[in-house]
A = this chain, B = another copy of it.
Amino acid sequence: MKVDDEAVVEYFKRVADGLEIDIMIQDAPMSTTPLSVPLLARIAREIPQVNYAKIEMPQAADKLRALAAAAGPSLPGLFDGEEAITLIPDLEAGALGTMSSCMVPDQLGQIVRDFHAGERDKAIHAWEDLLPFIHFENRQCGLRATKVLMKEGNIIASDRTREPVGELNPHTRAQLVEMAKRKDPLILRWA
């Protein structure tokens, strides 16, 4: 379904009506209704509860930068929305944080805190070191990566995912676990 800008604004007005908590808008490429920068900025201005947006589009950094300029203080919570595979460019463009998976939130959180504390080089170095791993998750595994590692770390008993997402190919699974062990994430140590 594809709806026009007026219908999108009306939709968020109805969602927000009487709501006391904040709203985060997900700007996802799989949506058939595109959310332009002017539309997102307008929603943020007209609907006070809309304080966050997670941007998952190609060239996310450009969109974040344009959105920060267009929406200003009415949209303070801009987030990278792609499991942190574009984290540093997005932070440089004005993102406050990242909507990552649960695979390495400990390490990603540290990178975000370091970046905002002015430790840019440290954050870049740590992120570049982590990129092959989170990129492997994003491109080869999807949401199955977190489940597999939670099982490997004895946090959950089964890593089965619902249909239509099938089991991870055994080669891909083995590579993921091998990469994870090299990164020593909390997910493998916590339980």
Whether the pair B175, A136 counts as a contact (CB closer than 8 A) is no
Tell me if A186 is interfacial: C-beta within 8 Å of chain B: no
25 inter-chain pairs at a CB distance below 8 angstroms, sorted by A residue, are A58-B139, A59-B139, A59-B142, A60-B139, A61-B140, A61-B169, A61-B171, A61-B172, A62-B140, A62-B169, A65-B169, A65-B171, A85-B135, A86-B135, A86-B139, A88-B132, A89-B136, A89-B175, A92-B171, A92-B175, A93-B171, A127-B132, A128-B131, A128-B132, A131-B132
Interface residues of A in 2-47 (CB under 8 A from B): none
What residues of chain B lie closer than 8 Å to A62, measured between beta carbons?
140, 169, 172
What residues of chain B lie closer than 8 Å to A127, measured between beta carbons?
132
User: How many residues of A are in contact with the other chain, CB < 8 A?
Assistant: 26
What residues of chain B lie closer than 8 Å to A136, measured between beta carbons?
89
What residues of chain B lie closer than 8 Å to A132, measured between beta carbons?
88, 127-128, 131
Task: Give the copy number.
Answer: 2
Interface residues of A in 55-74 (CB under 8 A from B): 58-62, 65
Point out residues on A near B: beta carbons under 8 Å.
58-62, 65, 85-86, 88-89, 92-93, 127-128, 131-132, 135-136, 139-142, 169, 171-172, 175
What residues of chain B lie closer than 8 Å to A59, measured between beta carbons?
139-142, 172
A81 → chain B closest CB, angstroms: 12
A171 → chain B closest CB, angstroms: 6
**A-B contacts besides A59-B140, A89-B140, A131-B131, 14 pairs, CB < 8 Å:** A59-B139, A60-B139, A61-B140, A61-B172, A65-B169, A86-B139, A89-B136, A89-B139, A89-B172, A89-B175, A92-B175, A93-B171, A127-B132, A128-B132
